[in-house]
Amino acid sequence: MPSQNPGQLILVGVPGAELDLDSARLFRKIQPGGFILFGRNIQTPVQLRKLIDDLRDLSDVEPIITIDQEGGRVSRLKLIGSEPPNAQQLRDRGDLDLIRRHGDITGRVLRIFGFNLDLCPVLDISFDDEADNSLRGRCYGRSVAEVNEKAGAFNDGLRAAGVLSCGKHFPGYASAGLDPHHELPRIERSLDLMEAHELAVFRHFAQSVDSMMIGHIAVSGLDAINRPASLSPVIIRDLLRRDMGFEGLVMTDDLDMGAILNHYGFDETMRLGIEAGNDLLMICHRVEMAAAAQKAIDPMGKKLDEALESVARCKAKLSPPTPFSVEAFEAIDAEIYALREAVLGEEQAKHRSPEDGKRSPVEIY
């Protein structure tokens, strides 16, 4: 029997590297379905494992603990260890065994800290490797076949290691010229064109990823009234669920992004998110709004049952953390660096992403 607490439909960020009293009180009260961690939450290996243990201890139902650990600049754990190669570097190297190895190592390093879901692989097609839409370096291919093959290898390795995966950013926003962290991209793109490219990838992965993240993008050919995909029942309920047959967990991208904040009120966003067919509403930065989110959706009553059941099904698949020690982490971290050398070469592996060591107030995901 799934929990009937609407807090289970909220995926919330955590303010800092330690669980302060106010946050602990908030989380204990609302019992969010999961937590997403960022650079602001990571200082040392021991500290990170303790933070995740504390989050699990205050949860009545085992929580989803997730992070964006892709590779390259979107690698939160590089703050305490080695930076894995990014998807484009792996793509250009062209070795499926190395990509599968990347998935396996990523899963094992995440489990040693207590993460049970990784917000990847990125399933967007790179139509332009230099596009300014937040996807630079993060795409596994320039065609449907290439993304299917290479993202699939990572997905297989990650899941085999006991960490759930997330396909993003449905229905695809690689053709957008705007970054949704700042404003809602609106593109004129026909259904036929989407079916031939972006949607062909998501159809391929509909039976092999554990969750889908819905992007903040309006596509004219998919929703005639130009709603963001993340708030569109036509795109989530009709296209993803009914047409593609996706039965996994559906989550919004961060609802604190400008793409949503600039156009919708908070309570309205929460209700529209559930009505559209999302199971988890993601609030990454305004953590104090989690209680308001719970309050906004609580009156929806029976309309929450479908999402609550979906969250419960997902949680039945979560793997527990593996035993922690600094030595165990260092051993896996050495594997990450060895993979980096195998992909980039010994000399290039020494040079990390320009964002290395920075905890940016606007983190890409």
Nearest of 124, 91, 152 to residue 215 by alpha carbon: 124
pLDDT, position 166:
98
What is residue 214's predicted lDDT score, i.e. its pLDDT?
A: 95
Give residues with Cβ within 8 angstroms of 157, minimum separation 6: 99, 100, 101, 102, 103, 104, 105, 106, 107
Rounded mean pLDDT, 339-346: 96
The 10s digit of each residue's pLDDT in 130-142 is 877 778 999 999 9
Judge whether 160 and 104 are in contact, CB under 8 Å: yes
> Which residue reads 């908030």 in tokens?
26
Q: 147: closest CA among 204, 211, 191?
A: 204
What is the rounded distance in angstroms from the CA atom of residue 134 to the CA atom of residue 365?
A: 8
- Quote the pTM value: 0.94
Q: Are 226 and 186 in contact (CB under 8 A)?
A: yes
- pLDDT value of position 356: 40
Closest by alpha carbon to 1, among 308, 314, 318?
308
- Using alpha carbons, select from 117, 56, 35, 52 the residue that is nearest to residue 314: 117
Q: What percent of the chain has pLDDT over 90?
A: 79
Cα separation, 30 vs 291, in Å, equals: 6
Separation CA 261–CA 97 (nearest Å) = 41
CA-wise closest residue to 249 among 203, 211, 276, 219: 211
Of 39-53, 85-99, 131-145, 296-310, minimum mean pLDDT range: 131-145
So what's the pLDDT on residue 259? 64
pLDDT digits 0-9 by tens, 29-74: 999 999 999 999 999 999 999 999 999 999 999 999 999 999 999 9
Q: How far is CA 278 from CA 134, 170, 306, in A?
A: 23, 12, 10
User: Among residues 249, 279, 165, 264, which one has the least CA distance to residue 218?
Assistant: 264
Task: Write out pLDDT tens, residues 263-296.
Answer: 788 899 999 999 999 999 999 988 988 999 999 9
Average pLDDT over residues 237-253: 97
Interval 235-245 mean pLDDT: 98
Please, what is the average pLDDT of the chain? 92
Residue 178 has pLDDT above 60, yes or no: no
State which amino acid sits at residue 38: F
CATH class label, 7-348: alpha beta
In the predicted structure, residue 117 carries a pLDDT above the cut 60: yes
Q: Is the pLDDT of residue 179 over 60?
A: no
Q: With cut-offs at 50, 70 and 90, classify the pLDDT of residue 254.
A: confident
Give residue 175's pLDDT. Answer: 74
Average pLDDT of the residues in 173-184: 65
Q: How would residue 338 be classed by pLDDT, with cut points 50, 70 and 90?
A: very high
Higher pLDDT, 185 or 319: 319
C-alpha separations of 140 from 60, 155, 216, 314, 326 in Å: 38, 11, 20, 26, 32
> What is the pLDDT confidence band of residue 308, given thresholds at 50, 70 and 90?
very high
Supply the pLDDT for residue 1: 64
